[in-house]
Structure 1
Amino acid sequence: TAFFHGDLAETVYMHQPPGFRDSAHPDYVCLLQRSLYGLKQAPRAWFQRFAHYITGVRFSPSRCDSSLFIYRQGTDTAYLLLYVDDM
């Protein structure tokens, strides 16, 4: 999933998942270093990473729709529209 590739802007901790609990330290929590599927911040973190990349290859964000990116070179134009389902 794309959401695994987002970078977190804030510090996020989670409880140890069932089945992976450290029996020596059952009350320890995990510090997330990357975004995780199901995390509230995951869609935004992925979008920010994608937007940073796509603008680096000369696409421009649309002023009307944040999920639309436009590439223009001479008389050629390309439109890239992001759609994420199951949000």
Structure 2
Amino acid sequence: MKVPLGLKTAATVNKVCRIKKSLYGLKPGLSKQSPKARFERFTCVLKKHGYFQSQSDRTMFIKYSQKGQRAILIVYVDYIILTRDLLDEIPRIKGWLAEEFEIKDL
């Protein structure tokens, strides 16, 4: 990338511009990943936190407590549906998902 015409000064010689706005849906600083690669990364993060992937539905992840309570997380396109009877799991899930990914809590 070259410095645009009109911005060339002694201070900008041999410098490049940093993109601050998204181009074509990509965010600056993030590499373009396929949906499969993003889902694999997401799966690794969930497994690291004690969830296992359902064999019948690969987009459903379940975590059981020692008392038999469970938390269920289902991925649908760009949405994640959380349900649980494991009482304090949802705030915990939201916390570590926010650390790993850019999320919005709807």
Q: For 2:45, which of 27, 37, 53 is the aligned residue?
A: 53
Structure 1: unaligned runs, 5 residues or longer: 1-20, 23-33
Alignment CA distance shift 1:42-1:63 (3 Å): same
- Structure number with the higher helix fraction is 2
Structure 2: unaligned runs, 5 residues or longer: 3-29, 79-106
Q: For 2:60, which of 33, 49, 68 is the aligned residue?
A: 68
Aligned residue in 2 for 1:81? 74
TM-score, length basis structure 2: 0.42
Q: Which has the higher contact order (CA 8 A, sep 6+)?
A: 1
- Structure number with the higher strand fraction is 1
Cα deviation for residue 42 of structure 1 reads 1.3
Q: CA RMSD in A?
A: 2.1
Structure-1 separation of matches of 2:40 and 2:70: 23
TM-score, length basis structure 1: 0.51
Percent of aligned positions with the same letter in both sequences?
Answer: 32
**Which runs of structure 2 are paired with 1:1-80 in the superposition (5 Å)?**
22=2, 35-36=31-32, 42-73=34-65, 74-80=67-73
